[in-house]
Structure 1
Amino acid sequence: MKLAASGGALTPEERRAAEAVDAERLFALLADVIAIESVANRETPAQQRVAKEMRAIGLETDVWEIDFERLRRHPAYTADVDRRDGLGVVGTMGRGEGRTLILNGHIDVVPAGEVARWTHPPFELTQRGGRLFGRGVVDMKGQLCSAVEAARALREAGVELAGALQVQSVIGEEDGGSGMLATIERGHTGDGAIVVEPTEFVIAPAQAGALSFRLTVPGLAAHGALREEGVDPVEKFIPIFQRLRTLEAERNRDVADVLFRGEALPFALTMGRLRAGIWPSTVAESLVVEGRYGVAPGEELAGARRALEGAVAEAASGDAWLRDHPPTVEWTGAQFAAARTDESDPVVSALAGAVQSLGGTEPRVGGVRYGADMRLLVNQGQVPTVLFGPGDVRRSHRPDESIHAEDLVDTARILAVTAIRFCGLLASGSPARELPDRV
């Protein structure tokens, strides 16, 4: 995205805030958090660094230990790792007498994998050719630092918001959203939210859901030299695989939601891991498939599950062995519901207006295929939410993750202007309120 040099139709306060964005400070914070390997259950040092920055720029900062024993009893809790401890971090500014805008990002990252496959060290911020490299620059430490910098720029510019701006740094997004759920349960909600996902500057008021499943196809073990005396579950899986591909095509035909039209496969059904057998010269006793099942906004999850279970049962009904030894489907791990916000909501219009004023062109509005913490804000917190941020999700979860450096700076400017338009300005002469820390 190229921001217009003129700054478009900005008010004096908006212009001051946009001009107060400090790229060097943004990148310095990002370098610090990139250096912290904040994978699942190891996010606390990174959260402490973000909280320190929030306090330094004058935000009311709430830092708390998440009670996972209690949180696990919540019906929306779906973490697919054994969560033990972690911090929630929320920084707030503004008078709190108008609308509250949330800027949300997650601090956790996926593992770097084989470090030898990286050109640059994954946990060291590297700048080259106008791009930043490092695990999390796209997903999504880079955008989170842009949100923090937006708040700092508003303070630096002397902007007093009538409402409130919250910057939320959450853990556990990659494994089910436990940090987002804990933040909502803490009481940190608002009138609108922007989750700073890498949407390539597309405003996304809709996200698909994704349900994890485990399919087990039974077989009958036999010595490899006597293969005909066994039942090969790999062979039995073939018609099930074909029926699931047909189900996927059916579910992606004539997509109702306009925000997903034009996408080749918005609600994909992926069978990502297959395991069978215990020994090369033994017919496998069973085959286990673990996969991801895309669901549409507004779709009833129970109905979606029944459709997959029914497709498996239908395929199995044509085989004598599987009729007597039916495959089983289990719903395990992360269960990401879909989410939708109306395109006419004020958070959408405020963000779109800020992008257009700073960039000179009308932003594209669309849906994203992947699950995100947006679903919890919308479905549990009742907060109208959009996904928006720089970067291409295709560059995340892989070696040499990278993003255009200037895009992060532009994002901070957009978020600062959006906050002014959504939250409003404190009337002239109204005293500012000092906000204490909560720890």
Structure 2
Amino acid sequence: MDERLSLLLHEVEERENELLKLLSDLVAFPTLSPPARNTSKAQAYVANTLQAMDFTIDTWDLYPGDPVVVGTKQGQHPDQSKSLIINGHVDVAAMEESEKWEYPPFDCTVTKENIYGRGVADMKGGMAGALFALKLLHKAGIEPAGNIHFQSVVGEEVGEAGTKSCGEKGYMADLALVVDTSDCQIQGQGGVITGWITVESPTTFHDANRRSMIHAGGGVYGASAIEKMMKMISALQELERHWSVIKSSPGFPPGSMTINPAVIEGGRHPAFVADRCSLWITVHYYPEEHYEDVIQEIEEHLFQTAKADPWLKNHLPQFSWGGTSMIEEKGEIFPAFSVDHNHSGVQSLAQAHQLIHQTTVDYSMSPTVTDGGWLAEAGIPTVLYGPGKLAQAHAVNESLERNQLLQFTKTMVAFLYEWFQQPKRGG
């Protein structure tokens, strides 16, 4: 091992208290989402931390009270060297008043084995480890040859794509590293899109008309939107089962492409036949698919089902897909992405992991979603790699293994130390 790198890795251990203080500072900001609109102070802290390492700061409001921060350090030889995006979010999962926390959620409680606090696993631990690694390299005078962008985004917990806005601002790189919860595995992910399906009658009938609508000789051409939605749900279940037979993807258990009927809203009063019903669904899809194609497949299947029904064929279902916020629009999109094992940056990360953990890294597909999909959607090779177990994300008494945070930080030091010197060639 390079002697200079060896000294840096030893320094991570010697200065663990500084790493824990950085994480503690981040956790102390109550950036719960929802309610959101509360990350300004946390983002100012991140911006100040980056500025102290000679990063220039670009910031804009995704929503009032929720700014995005991108720190950029210009490389010494940007035209000949590879650029990198490090991405993470400062918002954390919401909490309920009824939750019984044994540890104060916004104070880091450090034991011999674990660190407790809201966001330590998802994903302020990853943010702290990456920032601390950059800090050690900067203090050692080790500067990147290519440009480095550190994206501290907001809104990930509620589908508000702060990361997407970074791409819209023009931030690109040769590799994007999302330091979100992955238990220090190199991961890609499937995608998620939500949608609303609505069945609506142009006429509202009093409940007394129901007999005339459903019995022979009644003569009233009408239907309950709730009952017709039952046909749509049945059709979705058929399509879901069909997918489980014909679709598969490496790294996912069979049948992982699913359609969840999550919320249903319908009717106006017991004295009326329901004239409107809306179903909110969540669709998980494989990286080989694109959400626009998935949407088309669902709509075509439901249209065919509706056309076989005497009433629905004249009152076809309506659709509303995705959205920029679960809070503002009741909708979200998380694109899927796969990891290119042959990418030189991915291989460098795998080598850094093996150096620190003394075992080969596990490649897998995350069963959940992150902002990494928006980076991949922008055409950037993307990888998910961060500390924390998924079971702890959003959990009461959320925790992170202390040793894993230390090992992750060392891995970041080793990876960045090598990356800073990479020439711009190959993939």
What TM-score range do you get, normalising by the shorter chain? 0.7 to 0.9
Asked if 1:351 corresponds to 2:349, the answer is: yes
Task: Please tell me whether the aligned partners of residues 43 and 68 of structure 2 are also in contact (alpha carbons under 8 angstroms).
Answer: yes
Q: Could you tell me which of 46, 61, 64 is aligned with 2:56?
A: 61
Over the residues paired in the alignment, what is the CA RMSD in angstroms? Answer: 2.8
Task: Please tell me whether the aligned partners of residues 106 and 171 of structure 1 are also in contact (alpha carbons under 8 angstroms).
Answer: yes
Asked if 1:212 corresponds to 2:194, the answer is: yes
Amino acid at match of 2:274: A
| 1:226–1:402 distance in 2 versus 1, CA, 3 Å | farther
User: Deviation digits for residues 361-389 of structure 1, max 9, x if unmatched?
Assistant: 11111222433222222222x32110011
| 1:85–1:46 distance in 2 versus 1, CA, 3 Å | closer
| 1:50–1:274 distance in 2 versus 1, CA, 3 Å | same
Asked if 1:125 corresponds to 2:108, the answer is: yes
Q: 13-22 or 180-189: which moved more? A: 180-189
Amino acid at match of 2:49: E
Give the corresponding residue for 2:123.
140
Q: Aligned partners of 2:10, 2:289: CA distance in 1, in Å?
A: 43
Q: Aligned partners of 2:109, 2:210: CA distance in 1, in Å?
A: 55
Q: Could you tell me which of 419, 422, 425 is aligned with 1:422?
A: 419
Q: Aligned partners of 1:37, 1:371: CA distance in 2, in Å?
A: 22
Name structure 1 gaps, 5 residues minimum.
Answer: 1-9, 69-81, 427-439
Q: Could you tell me which of 89, 102, 115 is aligned with 1:106?
A: 89
Amino acid at match of 1:61: T
Task: Please tell me whether the aligned partners of residues 143 and 420 of structure 2 are also in contact (alpha carbons under 8 angstroms).
Answer: no
Give the corresponding residue for 2:29.
36
Give the corresponding residue for 2:265.
275
| 1:328–1:185 distance in 2 versus 1, CA, 3 Å | closer
| 1:96–1:283 distance in 2 versus 1, CA, 3 Å | farther
Task: Please tell me whether the aligned partners of residues 301 and 337 of structure 1 are also in contact (alpha carbons under 8 angstroms).
Answer: yes
Identity %: 27
Q: Aligned partners of 1:167, 1:281: CA distance in 2, in Å?
A: 58
Q: Could you tell me which of 281, 306, 312 is aligned with 1:316?
A: 306
| 1:289–1:400 distance in 2 versus 1, CA, 3 Å | farther
Q: 302-311 or 32-41: which moved more? A: 32-41
State the TM-score, normalized to the length of structure 2: 0.83
Map residues 23-422 of structure 1 onto 2, 5 A cutoff. Answer: 23-38=16-31, 39=33, 40-56=36-52, 58-66=53-61, 86-92=67-73, 95-97=76-78, 98-114=81-97, 116-128=99-111, 130-176=113-159, 178-204=161-187, 206-218=188-200, 228=211, 231-255=223-247, 257-258=249-250, 260-261=251-252, 263-280=253-270, 282-333=272-323, 334-380=332-378, 382-422=379-419
Give the corresponding residue for 1:72.
none
User: Deviation digits for residues 74-122 of structure 1, max 9, x if unmatched?
Assistant: xxxxxxxx66762423153753442223221111223223354444343
| 1:62–1:187 distance in 2 versus 1, CA, 3 Å | farther
Q: Aligned partners of 1:125, 1:252: CA distance in 2, in Å?
A: 43
How far has the Cα of 1:281 moved from its partner? 5.6
Task: Please tell me whether the aligned partners of residues 134 and 413 of structure 2 are also in contact (alpha carbons under 8 angstroms).
Answer: yes
User: Deviation digits for residues 300-340 of structure 1, max 9, x if unmatched?
Assistant: 43321111112222332343232232222211422332223
Task: Please tell me whether the aligned partners of residues 101 and 164 of structure 1 are also in contact (alpha carbons under 8 angstroms).
Answer: yes
How far has the Cα of 1:423 moved from its partner? 2.4
| 1:425–1:12 distance in 2 versus 1, CA, 3 Å | farther
Task: Please tell me whether the aligned partners of residues 214 and 288 of structure 1 are also in contact (alpha carbons under 8 angstroms).
Answer: yes
How far has the Cα of 1:418 moved from its partner? 0.8
Amino acid at match of 1:276: G
Task: Please tell me whether the aligned partners of residues 215 and 289 of structure 1 are also in contact (alpha carbons under 8 angstroms).
Answer: yes
| 1:299–1:425 distance in 2 versus 1, CA, 3 Å | closer
Give the corresponding residue for 2:9.
18
State the TM-score, normalized to the length of structure 1: 0.81
Q: Aligned partners of 2:205, 2:391: CA distance in 1, in Å?
A: 43
Partner SS, residue 140 of structure 1: helix
| 1:421–1:250 distance in 2 versus 1, CA, 3 Å | farther
Q: Aligned partners of 2:103, 2:336: CA distance in 1, in Å?
A: 35
Q: Aligned partners of 2:313, 2:124: CA distance in 1, in Å?
A: 50
How far has the Cα of 1:11 moved from its partner? 2.2
Q: Aligned partners of 2:247, 2:345: CA distance in 1, in Å?
A: 25
Task: Please tell me whether the aligned partners of residues 103 and 193 of structure 1 are also in contact (alpha carbons under 8 angstroms).
Answer: yes
How far has the Cα of 1:59 moved from its partner? 3.4
Q: Aligned partners of 1:135, 1:282: CA distance in 2, in Å?
A: 46
How far has the Cα of 1:285 moved from its partner? 2.7
User: Deviation digits for residues 383-422 of structure 1, max 9, x if unmatched?
Assistant: 2110011222233234333222221221111111111222
| 1:341–1:121 distance in 2 versus 1, CA, 3 Å | same
How far has the Cα of 1:138 moved from its partner? 1.9
Name structure 2 gaps, 5 residues minimum.
Answer: 214-222, 324-331
| 1:221–1:351 distance in 2 versus 1, CA, 3 Å | same
Q: Aligned partners of 2:77, 2:37: CA distance in 1, in Å?
A: 33
Task: Please tell me whether the aligned partners of residues 99 and 163 of structure 1 are also in contact (alpha carbons under 8 angstroms).
Answer: yes
Q: Aligned partners of 1:94, 1:20: CA distance in 2, in Å?
A: 24
